[in-house]
Amino acid sequence: MQTQASDLIALEQRFWKALVDEDVEAATSMLDEPALMVSPHGAFQFDHDGYKRMAEQGSMVVKSYELSDMNVVFPTEETAVLTYQVQQALSQRGQAEEEVQQMADSSVWTRKDGRWVCVMHTETPLASAAK
């Protein structure tokens, strides 16, 4: 399972890189359909087209990130849950000023047709970073 854990951490890193690069195709290729997200903005379900609209038209963009304290568990051979902390810098689309946030995140990945896809992601502001 250690190799699979390393593979999933690499996938999570690749997804974050796709966010920063605004590479919608790379990101959607890693998402299940439908996928779920829970954040301070609410709970959402979206398909690939919905994700594409959010990524291309959303008001905020991810400028940089640093993942730490990554942990992977396998409830089943076909399911993995990742938890970690992230320091992310966001900015309004088209603006240079960045806001840095400290978050606790989780992602649920499932293996379908021989490859891992993300079915759910959550993000929660860390209490020490809450305003």
User: Over the stretch 39-61, which tens digit does the pLDDT of each residue have?
Assistant: 998 999 999 999 999 899 988 89
CATH classification of the domain holding 53: 3.10.450.50
Range of the domain at 95: 2-129
Q: How many domains does the chain have?
A: 1
Residue 111 to residues 31, 83, 92, Cα–Cα distance (Å) = 11, 18, 34
The average confidence (pLDDT) of the chain is 93
pLDDT at 1: 62
pTM of the model: 0.91
Segment 73-91 shows an average pLDDT of: 97
